[in-house]
Amino acid sequence: MISGVTGHMNGDHTDDNLLIARAFGYPGATASAMVGVTEAAGLWRVTDADGEHELSVAWPGGPISERPEIRREVVALYTAACAKLGVPARGEHEEPASSHHGAGDAADETHGDRAAHREEAAEGADAADRPFSVVIRESSWSDHSDSEGATFMEDIMRGKGSLQDYIDLVAQHYFMYEALEAAADRVAGDPRFAGFHTPSLVRLPALEADLAHLIGADWRDRIVAVPATLEYAARMREVAAEGWVAGVVAHHYTRYLGDLSGGQYIAKRVAKQHGLPGAGIAFYDFAELGDLAEFKNRYRAALDVLGAQLDADERARMLDEVRTAYAFNTAVFRDLGQAKLAAA
Ligand code: HEM
Within 10 angstroms of residue 171's Cβ, the number of other Cβ atoms is: 23
**How far is Cα 306 from Cα 49, in angstroms, rounded to an integer?**
35
**How far is Cα 94 from Cα 277, in angstroms, rounded to an integer?**
45
| Atom number, ligand 1, closest to the C-alpha of residue 27 | 10
Residues 70 and 158 in one domain: no
Residues 44 and 170 in one domain: no
9 residue type, one letter: M
Rg of the chain (C-alpha set): 21
| Atom number, ligand 1, closest to the C-alpha of residue 30 | 5
pLDDT at 127: 53
Query: Which CATH number belongs to the domain containing residue 227 in this structure?
Result: 1.20.910.10
Whether residue 171 lies inside any domain: the answer is yes
**How far is Cα 147 from Cα 103, in angstroms, rounded to an integer?**
8
For the entire predicted model, the pTM comes to 0.77
Q: In testing the pocket of ligand 1, which one of 46, 50, 82, 144 has its CB within 8 Å of the most ligand atoms?
A: 144
- DSSP designation for 48: E
pLDDT band at residue 282 under the 50/70/90 scheme: very high
Rounded to an integer, the average pLDDT of 18-40 is: 84
| Atom number, ligand 1, closest to the C-alpha of residue 303 | 41
**How far is Cα 221 from Cα 208, in angstroms, rounded to an integer?**
12
**How far is Cα 256 from Cα 263, in angstroms, rounded to an integer?**
9
pLDDT band at residue 272 under the 50/70/90 scheme: very high
What is the Å distance from ligand 1's center to 137 Cα? 10
| pLDDT tens digits for range 291-344 | 999 999 999 999 999 999 999 999 999 999 999 999 999 999 999 999 999 998
Q: In testing the pocket of ligand 1, which one of 261, 294, 319, 323 has its CB within 8 Å of the most ligand atoms?
A: 261
Residues 78 and 162 in one domain: no
pLDDT at 47: 84
Residues 165 and 309 in one domain: yes
Q: Is the pLDDT of residue 8 over 70?
A: yes
Within 10 angstroms of residue 234's Cβ, the number of other Cβ atoms is: 12
What is the Å distance from ligand 1's center to 61 Cα? 30
**How far is Cα 33 from Cα 76, in angstroms, rounded to an integer?**
17
Whether residue 289 lies inside any domain: the answer is yes
Alpha-helix residue ranges (DSSP H) falling in 187-311 = 204-214, 219-222, 227-241, 245-259, 262-274, 292-309
- Identify the domain boundary among 95, 121, 143: 95
Average pLDDT taken over every residue of the chain: 87
Whether residue 90 lies inside any domain: the answer is yes
Residues touching ligand 1 (Cβ under 6 Å) are: 22, 27-28, 30, 136-137, 144, 147-148, 153, 157, 253-255, 257-258, 261-262, 265-266, 296, 326, 329
Q: Whose CA is nearest to atom 40 of ligand 1?
A: 137
| pLDDT tens digits for range 86-135 | 676 776 434 334 333 323 333 443 333 444 444 444 444 455 569 999 99
| Atom number, ligand 1, closest to the C-alpha of residue 265 | 5
Domain of residue 233, residue span: 152-343
Query: Which CATH number belongs to the domain containing residue 50 in this structure?
Result: 3.20.180.10
Task: Specify the number of domains making up the chain.
Answer: 2
122 in Cβ contact with 318 (< 8 Å): no
- Identify the domain boundary among 95, 113, 139: 95
Whether residue 156 lies inside any domain: the answer is yes
pLDDT band at residue 268 under the 50/70/90 scheme: very high
87 in Cβ contact with 134 (< 8 Å): no
Residues 188 and 80 in one domain: no
State what percent of residues in the chain have pLDDT above 70: 88
